[in-house]
Structure 1
Amino acid sequence: MLVSVISICLVAGAASSAMAASVYRHVDAAGNVVYSDEPGAGTRVDLKPITVVDPTEVEPSADSRQSVTPEAPAVEYERFVITRPQNQQTLPTGQAGDVQVRLAIEPALQRGDRVQLRVDGKVSQSPMHTSVFVLTQLPRGEHQLQADLVDAQGQVRLSTPPVTLYVQRASINLPANPNNPDRGNSPNRGK
Structure 2
Amino acid sequence: MRPFLLFLGLLSGFPATAQIYKYTDAAGNTAYSNQPPDGVSAQTVDLPPLNSVDRQPPNEPPAPTPIRNREQINSTYETLELTGVPNDGALRANNGTFTVNVLIKPRLQGSHLFRLLLDEQPYGQPGNVPSLQLVNIDRGLHRLAVQVIDGDTVIQQSPTVTFTLQRVHKR
TM-score calculated relative to the size of structure 2: 0.57
Q: Which residue of 1 aligns with 2:77?
A: 77
Q: Deviations over 1:21-70 (max 9, x none)?
A: xxxx7825xx6265999353329xxxxxxxxxxxxxxxxxxxxxxxxxxx
Aligned match for 2:6, one of 18, 32, 36: 32
Kept in 1, the 8 Å contact 2:142–2:164? The answer is: yes
Q: Deviations over 1:85-127 (max 9, x none)?
A: 13123122x6432221101111101130001111111111221
Kept in 2, the 8 Å contact 1:91–1:97? The answer is: no
Q: Which runs of 5+ in 2 are unaligned?
A: 12-19, 32-71
User: Aligned partners of 1:114, 1:85: CA distance in 2, in Å?
Assistant: 20
Pairing 1:113–2:101 present: no
- Between the two proteins, the alignment pairs up a number of residues equal to 116
User: Tell me, what secondary structure is at the counterpart of 1:32?
Assistant: helix
Aligned match for 1:162, one of 137, 160, 163: 160
TM-score calculated relative to the size of structure 1: 0.52
Task: Please identify which structure carries the higher strand content.
Answer: 2
Relative to 1, partners in 2 of residues 1:116 and 1:26: Cα closer, same or farther, differing over 3 Å? closer
User: Aligned partners of 1:77, 1:114: CA distance in 2, in Å?
Assistant: 13
Aligned match for 2:30, one of 21, 30, 42: 42
Kept in 1, the 8 Å contact 2:103–2:130? The answer is: yes
Relative to 1, partners in 2 of residues 1:37 and 1:77: Cα closer, same or farther, differing over 3 Å? farther
Q: Which residue of 1 aligns with 2:147?
A: 148
CA RMSD, Structure 1 to Structure 2 (Å): 3.0
Percent of pairs with identical residues: 22
Relative to 1, partners in 2 of residues 1:108 and 1:37: Cα closer, same or farther, differing over 3 Å? farther
Q: Which residue of 1 aligns with 2:88?
A: 88
Kept in 2, the 8 Å contact 1:26–1:42? The answer is: no
Kept in 1, the 8 Å contact 2:95–2:136? The answer is: yes
Q: Which has the higher contact order (CA 8 A, sep 6+)?
A: 2
Relative to 1, partners in 2 of residues 1:143 and 1:32: Cα closer, same or farther, differing over 3 Å? same
Relative to 1, partners in 2 of residues 1:110 and 1:42: Cα closer, same or farther, differing over 3 Å? same
Q: Which runs of 5+ in 1 are unaligned?
A: 1-24, 44-72, 173-179, 181-191
Q: Which residue of 1 aligns with 2:133?
A: 134
